A and B are shown apart, each in its own frame.
Chain A
């Protein structure tokens, strides 16, 4: 059986949500921690979150291109493992801030820096505990029209415009 997960809108039950769950403006990113374009848009998205505050619900789903980005899968799993310990967003930010340091030992260092249970995180990542979840994100992206990263959806619609602060803010606040 093929599973259809047309999850284009963020799902607060399932997705990692930053900002207000009641935010009227909904921004969903499909991203890859090793993708330089995702790294470029990261500070812009942070600024948008700062400016829109509680009006914004921001969600992130994984879309690792694991053949061209050999560290992307473990990085994504590390974010999930940190999430299981209550700090998905802390790890998410660290991974994007240190895109050049995504080897397994770097991931373990991140865990230590965030005060997480490093042993548990390493065990979960090396045994692929969160791999199915990441695959589910990936598939939902493919079915939703994600062709590469980063892909952004604003209130359920794919945003194909320029990814600079001005254009993004305009698109977000026009809704």
Chain B
């Protein structure tokens, strides 16, 4: 098992220190969410291939159980796939998800491409995680083999790291 920083064998993914490309995507058929709205707090972007993957091992179901933990870091989590807003709505309802799923639907996969995690062959997002700091800079990224749920350990470590950094900076002031 490995959830370390870095993406051996994956050259295109945006890495630490890179400004996170801004975007505005539908989260419901009539509402959009922009990355810049979250400035001032950490954001977790969880790109995933598709809604409706098997439930018990599902990555989104796991993050849904962890919203309190993410909240301890004032972090927002959003899921992103190429499914449309109506599909996301049904999926979120079925699984009682309490965080936004964004539709990278039109033009298809544009945001995933900007982050270097679009799978041209399958026409879906890869299973990729980004932790973005409060200034909008990528702090950590990870691409998981598509069939493997990357879990949340790497995300929590990155958030802890960010918190420690901001406390050090605050203490130095």
Residues of A within 8 A of B (CB): 2, 32, 35-37, 64-68, 138-139, 142-149, 158
For chain B, the bracket of interface size reads 20 to 34
CB–CB B150/A68 < 8 A: no
Selected from B57, B64, B98, B156, the residue in CB contact (under 8 A) with A148 is: B57
A37-B56, A139-B69 given as contacts; is B62 within 8 A of A148 (CB)? yes
Which residues of B have CB within 8 Å of A64? 65
Which residues of A have CB within 8 Å of B1? 145, 158
State the main secondary structure of chain B at its contact with A: loop
Residues of B within 8 A of A (CB): 1, 3, 55-59, 61-62, 64-66, 69, 72, 95-98, 149-153, 156, 160, 163
* Pairs across A and B, CB under 8 Å, 10 listed: A2-B163, A32-B56, A67-B96, A67-B98, A139-B69, A145-B1, A147-B59, A148-B56, A148-B57, A148-B149
Selected from B56, B62, B95, B97, the residue in CB contact (under 8 A) with A36 is: B56
A35-B56, A37-B56, A68-B61 given as contacts; is B150 within 8 A of A147 (CB)? yes
Selected from A139, A147, A158, the residue in CB contact (under 8 A) with B62 is: A147
CB–CB B66/A65 < 8 A: no
CB–CB A142/B156 < 8 A: yes
CB–CB A145/B72 < 8 A: no
CB–CB A145/B65 < 8 A: no
Which residues of B have CB within 8 Å of A32? 56
CB–CB A145/B151 < 8 A: yes
CB–CB B61/A142 < 8 A: no
Closest B residue, CB atoms, query A146 = B151
CB–CB A67/B95 < 8 A: yes
Selected from A68, A139, A142, the residue in CB contact (under 8 A) with B95 is: A68
Which residues of B have CB within 8 Å of A138? 65
Which residues of A have CB within 8 Å of B156? 2, 142-143
What are the 3 closest A-B residue pairs judged by CB atoms, nearest first?
Answer: A148-B57, A147-B149, A147-B151
How far does the alpha carbon of A65 sit from the alpha carbon of B95 in the complex, in Å? 10
CB–CB A65/B61 < 8 A: yes
How far does the alpha carbon of A174 sit from the alpha carbon of B159 in the complex, in Å? 37
How far does the alpha carbon of A35 sit from the alpha carbon of B64 in the complex, in Å? 16
Given contacts A36-B56, A147-B57, A148-B62, 11 further A-B contacts (CB under 8 A): A2-B72, A35-B56, A65-B61, A65-B62, A67-B64, A67-B65, A68-B55, A142-B153, A147-B152, A148-B57, A148-B58
Closest B residue, CB atoms, query A158 = B1
